[in-house]
Each structure stands twice: as structure tokens, then as C-alpha cells.
Structure 1
Amino acid sequence: MDIQIVLSTISVMGIMIAIGTFFAYRVDVTREVKYTLILIILNVAVPAVILNGVFSVEMTGQTLSLAAMVFGISLAYHLLALGMVGLFARIFRFKSTFAVKMMILGALGNTGFIGIPLAATIFGAEGGFLAAIFDAGLSVIVYTVVLYILQIEGKFQFRQLKAVINIPIMAILLGILVAVTGFEPPQMVIQLTSMLAGLAAPMAMLYVGMLLPPLFKKKRKVFFPEVWFPLSFRLLVIPLTVMVIFNVFSFDGWIANMIVLQTAMPTAMVIAVLFSRYTEEEDTAVVTIFSSTLLSLATIPLIAFLMT
């Protein structure tokens, strides 16, 4: 992996976040504006990245085998990450409910909103496609295990699984169907997905920047002293641990590098939505998400450097 590409990509991401922040200071970013941006990013740009990866890569049996392997690794990784962070939260004697929140914030990364566009930029179309497969594993864990943990009554309901069926997942299934059937889409469709895929990274970074000013403008204290815990595990401890495990099993190459970078993503934004619905500490999630996002501009190049 070329460290120069990673540094260049992260630098551009930082500039786009700064532009979004400047824009938010000049214009009132309403709830409707933020909701519209999320809809465009998650339901248009990210699916376009996935389909662009399918259309740009020869989908052979080997590619599908790699996708199945990445999905399996993703499921195992996210379960082990939750267990590892949860264990250390108990060791540091956090209160039971607070320990659960620290476990979720420290274990789950933003592999979709930021991870997919970043992987597509660094590793190309196939990297974006496999990153989407990795993110699909996260979605399964979030809407099953994590929702079960957050439910006060501790009852799992199958209707929770409806959240797993979303447009990015449907784009993955469509891409696999196209690969299996050998269907070649019209050139217009290929060109459209390529152009829309280019929106993913810029819009995601602008959105992150636009959410920072409202956080700083809050009069009451929103930062909490234990924020170091989820930040440390999310940005350094977990990716370094995965890197060591891959070295022990001699699993290397660009796919291993892509997976390690996915494990180094900042805290997942979906956690803020879950905390808002199932807990009373949405600000805890918001602070962790944006602190980890800003710090990841430095830690992701560090992880990439160590991998080289």
C-alpha cells in the first residue's frame, strides 16, 4: 500500500471537513438539510460506489469467494471487538450501563459512511466493493447483537432485522446477482454509477464538518472525561491488534490492508441514532463520533505507515 496515497486522501478529507465546518458557521444547517444529505449519501452515493465496484471489476468465482471471506471476517471481527472492549470496560470498573455504552462506542467503526469511500479511493473499485461487504457484516451485528444489548428488557425481536434490509445491502445483492448472471449493464448505467460514486467521499466529509459547529455552540458541558477509552480502542488498540493477528497467521496483501484500515475507522455514526432511541446519552455518542473522526485524520495514516 502506497502511504503517499493514504496521506493525500486523508489530507483531502480533512480539507473537506474544514469546508463543511466553515459552511455551517455561515449558514444555519437545519435538521431537514442534514436529513437530506444523509439520504443522498446512504441511498445514492454509497450504493453507487458498490455498484461501480461491481461494474468495474471482473466478478469471477474468485472475487465472490473473496467477498464471502471478507463477510465472514467482518462478522467474527465485530463480535470479538465487542467482547474485547466490553472486557476492558469491566476491568476499568465502569458502571454496568456506562460500560455497555463504552463497549459499543469503542468497538464499532464507521465502515460504511467513511470506510467505503476511503477504500474505493485507496484500493480502487474492487476495494470499495469488498469494503461494502465488510460493512454488511457490521450491519448484521448492529441490528441483531447491539440492539439486543441496548434493549432494557433484553428481548430480541425479529422485526429489528428489517433495518438490515437497506439500500446499500440491496446494492450488494444486486451486484452479486449481476456477477452470477453475467449481465452487462448499458454504458449509460455504468457512467451514471461512476459519476454518483464520486459524490460519496466529498459529501460524507462535508456532512461531518457541518455537524461540528452545533456541538461547539452547546452551552452545557458535552465532553466527558472517559472519552479517552472508546477513542483509544477504536483508533489504535483494535487496528493494532488486528494487524498483529494477521501477521501471526501470515495474512497479508492489499485485502488484509483494506480490512485493517476498516478496523481503524472512527466511531460509527449509527450509534448516535441508537443511543438517541434506547438511552438518554445521545451526546456521549455524538462527542465520541466527532472526536474520533477528527483524530482519525492522524491515526489512519499512522496505521497505514505501520502496515508498510
Structure 2
Amino acid sequence: METAVVATAITVMGLMVALGVFLSYKVHITTETKQLLVVVVLNIAVPSVILNGVFNTDVSDQLLRQVGIIFGLSIIFHLGAIVFALLFAKIAGFRSTFAKRMTVLAALGNTGFIGIPLCATIFGPTGGLLAAIFDAGLDFVIFTVGLYLLQSGRSFRLKQLKSLINLPLAAVIIGISSAFLELEPPAVIRQLVELLSGLAAPLAMLYTGILLQQLLRRTGFRVYPQIWFPLTVRLLAIPALTLTILPFIPLEEMTRNVVIVLSGMPTFMLAAILFTRYTDDEDSAVMTISFSTILSMGTIPLVVYAASFLF
């Protein structure tokens, strides 16, 4: 994995984020506009990235094995990240409820909204597909263990799992199934999916910039004192731990590179919604998302550069 290629992709995406900040500063962007962008990215562009990855990849037994491995690895990775962050939070002296909230912000990264378009840009269609599988594992952990930590004593309910049913996951199932059954999509569908997949990275980054400008305008650059914890664990400690463990796990080069990049993602954006619904501490999630996203533009190339000495 070329560090220069990753750095270039991150720089371009950073410029898109800056453009989003500029647009949000110059143009009044309503809640409905932001919701439209989210719907387009998550329900049209990201599923297209996944299907484009399937259509442009030879779905062999080897790829199917990689899909199974990266899904299982994602679940183990995120559960391990939660345990690591929770232990670190206890050592830092955080009280029980606050420790659980910090654990969620520190352990779970934005592997979907940012990670899938980024991996598709760096590694091509197959990279986007594998990133989507990794994100599916994260979703499972978020809506089970993640919600359990945030609800502070409330019982877990099976209906929470309905959030796992979404269009990106449907695209994974449909794409892999059609490839396994050797169903060739019509040329018009292939071209449509390819064109729509190109929307994912630009729109996701523009939305990120819009969100950052509005969040920072509302909260300023004021931060809560403990923000060092999720930023340090999410952007540095977990990627470092990942780089320490990966050499001992036999993985295909593409799978390993995708995991390395996704290990350095900023805090997942859904945290703001979940904190609003299940806690009284929305600002902590908002600030952590904002600052981790900004800082990740520098830490992701650093993680990849460190990985170049190991692989």
C-alpha cells in the first residue's frame, strides 16, 4: 500500500470537506437539505459502490472467503476495541456511565460514511466492497453492544436489530448472491451503478464539511475536558494496536490494507443521533465527531506510513 496514494486521496477528500465548509458558510443549508444528502449517500451512492465492486470483481471462492473473513474480523475487531477502550476508561478514572459513553465514542469508527468511499477511491471497486462488509460487522456491534452501553441499565430489545436492515446490506446480499448464481447484469445497470458510485466520496465529504461548519458554529471550538480520551484511543491507540496484531493474522494483502485504513477512521457520525436519543450528552458526541474527523485527515496517512514498515 503506497503511502503517497493514501495521502493524495486523503488530501483530495480534505479539500472536499473544506469546500463543504465553505458552501455551508456561504449558503443557508437546511435540515431537509442535509437529510437529502444523507439519503443519497447511504441509500443510493454507497449501495452503488458495493454493487460496482461486485460487478467489477471476479467473485471467486477466494473472494467469498475474504468476505467471510473480513465480516468475522470486523465483529472481533470492534468487540475488542470496546473492551480495550472500556478498560482504558476505567484506568482513566471515569465513572461508570460516562466511561461507557466515552467507550462508544472511542471504539467505533466511521467505516461506512467515510470508510467505504475512501477505500473505493484508494483500492478500487473491490476495496469498496470489502469496506462495506467490514462496516456491516460494525453495524451489528453498534446496534447490539453499543446500544446496550448507552442505555445505562435498560434492557436490550430485539427490535433494535431492525436497524441492521438497510440498503447497503441489501446491496451486499444481492450483489454476492447474483455473482454466486452467475447472473450477469444488463449493460445499462452496470453503467448506471458505475456512475452513481462516483457520487459517494464527493457527497459524503461535502456533507461532512457542512456538518462540521454547522456543529462548530453552534458549539464553537469549546471542548469538554475529557475529549482527549476518545481522540487518542480512536485515532492513535486502536490503529497502533491493530498494526501490532495484524502481522500475526494470515490475511490477503487487499483485506489487510482495508483493515489498516478503516482502523484509523474518526468517530462514527451515527453517534450524534444515538447520544441524542439515549443520553443527555449530545454535545460530547458532536464535539468528538467534529474534532476526530478533522484530525483524522492527518492521522490516517500516519497510520498507513507506519504500516509500510511492517508489511
Structure 2 letter corresponding to 1:127: G
Residue 117 of structure 1: how far off its partner (Å)? 0.6
Structure 2 partner of 1:6:
6
Q: Does structure 2 retain, via aligned residues, the 8 Å contact 1:43–1:167?
A: yes
Structure 2 partner of 1:76:
76
Distance 1:151 1:99 in 2: 13
Distance 1:139 1:249 in 2: 23
Structure 1 partner of 2:87:
87
Structure 2 partner of 1:161:
161
Distance 1:3 1:168 in 2: 29
Question: Which one is further off, 245-254 or 7-16?
Answer: 245-254
Residue 30 of structure 1: how far off its partner (Å)? 1.1
Q: Does structure 2 retain, via aligned residues, the 8 Å contact 1:246–1:252?
A: no
Structure 2 partner of 1:235:
235
Structure 2 partner of 1:150:
150
Residue 149 of structure 1: how far off its partner (Å)? 1.9
Distance 2:207 2:63 in 1: 33
**In the TM superposition, what whole-angstrom CA distance separates every residue of 1:121-164 from its partner, at most 9, and x where no partner exists?**
11111111011000000011111111122223431111111000
Structure 2 partner of 1:46:
46
Structure 1 partner of 2:113:
113
Distance 1:96 1:149 in 2: 10
Structure 1 partner of 2:303:
303
Structure 2 partner of 1:127:
127
Summarize the alignment of residues 270-289 of structure 1 with structure 2, pairs less than 5 Å apart: 270-289=270-289
Distance 2:207 2:249 in 1: 38
Structure 2 letter corresponding to 1:302: L
Summarize the alignment of residues 218-257 of structure 1 with structure 2, pairs less than 5 Å apart: 218=218, 222-249=222-249, 251=251, 253-257=253-257
Distance 1:164 1:56 in 2: 26
**In the TM superposition, what whole-angstrom CA distance separates every residue of 1:267-308 from its partner, at most 9, and x where no partner exists?**
000111100100011111111011011101100011111111
Q: Does structure 2 retain, via aligned residues, the 8 Å contact 1:111–1:131?
A: yes
Distance 1:198 1:95 in 2: 45
Structure 2 partner of 1:33:
33
Structure 2 letter corresponding to 1:45: A
The alignment-based identity, stated in percent, is: 48
Q: Which runs of 5+ in 1 are unaligned?
A: none
TM-score, structure 1 normalization: 0.97
Distance 1:205 1:254 in 2: 24
Distance 1:57 1:278 in 2: 41
Report the aligned-residue RMSD. Answer: 1.3
Distance 1:157 1:207 in 2: 32
Q: Does structure 2 retain, via aligned residues, the 8 Å contact 1:7–1:301?
A: yes
Q: Does structure 2 retain, via aligned residues, the 8 Å contact 1:222–1:284?
A: no
Aligned residues: 308
TM-score, structure 2 normalization: 0.96
Q: Does structure 1 retain, via aligned residues, the 8 Å contact 2:66–2:252?
A: no
